[in-house]
């Protein structure tokens, strides 16, 4: 059984169209092809809670995070990337000798095996919908690194594949996101199919 973690129902709507709803609280959980699809809701705590909750209830073989992301730098809307490096942009304990973005007691960043299906990218996560440029070339979301951290604590591997929905700092940033959110779920469904083919053959 695979677990797919997706923040918003709008991202997953094409994927869950033919799925069976298992329950709707404390988050929505669906079953499709003997896999689980969880709508974590937005934010780091919601994401980590969902993964941990389901890890305790089900025998899950692989963990996946799919979704839309903002991007900083040289990215284009609609591009698909696998996250191979993730850290927080809203954590700063550098006064105590930790790296910027590092949670005390945790690695400075979280890494993932390169599946060599999609181009690679680095992810920054925080509980903020960013509208300002932090510099560098990064994907930006509000859940991904928290999922990597929860998986790390449970001794599990997480694969994260993201679609660029908006480019931060562009003239029409919020409009770009709204337009992509209405249409991008078909790409999530295609990513799901490709990952299932890769792992199940």
117-167: pLDDT as tens digits: 999 999 999 998 877 778 889 999 999 999 999 999 999 999 999 999 988
Place of tokens 């709204």: 178
The model scores a pTM over 0.85: yes
H helices present in 105-172, as ranges: 144-153
Question: What is the predicted pLDDT for the residue at 143?
Answer: 98
Spelled out in words, what is the top-level CATH class assigned to the domain 2-200?
alpha beta
Q: How far apart, in Å, are the Cα atoms of 123 and each of 54, 137, 138, 139, 186?
A: 24, 9, 6, 5, 22
59-90: pLDDT as tens digits: 999 999 999 999 999 999 999 999 999 999 99
| pLDDT, mean of residues 93-102 | 96
Please answer whether residues 159 and 63 qualify as being in contact, where contact means their C-beta atoms are separated by less than 8 angstroms.
yes
Please answer whether residues 133 and 168 qualify as being in contact, where contact means their C-beta atoms are separated by less than 8 angstroms.
yes
Alpha-carbon gap, residue 145 to 88, rounded angstroms: 7
| DSSP secondary structure code for residue 7 in this structure | S
Secondary structure (H, E, C), 77-101: CCCEEEEEEEEECCCCCHHHCCCCC
Q: Structural domain boundaries of the chain?
A: 2-200
Please answer whether residues 7 and 149 qualify as being in contact, where contact means their C-beta atoms are separated by less than 8 angstroms.
no
> Residue 201 above 70 pLDDT?
no
Enter the tokens of residue 23: 């329950």
């Amino acid at each position: 059984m695979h677990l797919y973690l997706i923040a918003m129902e709008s991202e997953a709507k094409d994927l869950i169209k033919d799925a069976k709803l298992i329950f709707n609280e404390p988050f929505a959980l669906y079953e499709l092809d003997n896999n689980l699809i969880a709508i974590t809701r937005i934010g780091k705590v919601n994401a980590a809670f969902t993964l941990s909750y389901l890890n305790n209830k089900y025998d899950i073989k692989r963990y996946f995070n799919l979704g839309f992301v903002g991007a900083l730098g040289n990215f284009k809307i609609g591009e698909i990337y696998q996250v191979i490096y993730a850290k927080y942009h809203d954590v700063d304990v550098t006064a105590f000798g930790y790296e910027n973005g590092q949670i005390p007691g945790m690695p400075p960043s979280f890494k993932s095996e390169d599946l060599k299906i999609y181009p690679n990218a680095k992810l920054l996560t925080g509980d903020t919908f960013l509208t300002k440029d932090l510099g560098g070339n990064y994907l930006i979301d509000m859940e991904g690194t928290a999922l990597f951290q929860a998986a790390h604590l449970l001794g599990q591997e997480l694969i994260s594949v993201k679609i660029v929905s908006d480019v931060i700092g562009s003239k029409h940033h919020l409009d770009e996101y709204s337009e992509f959110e209405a249409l991008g779920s078909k790409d999530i469904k295609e990513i799901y199919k490709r990952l299932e083919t890769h792992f199940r053959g």
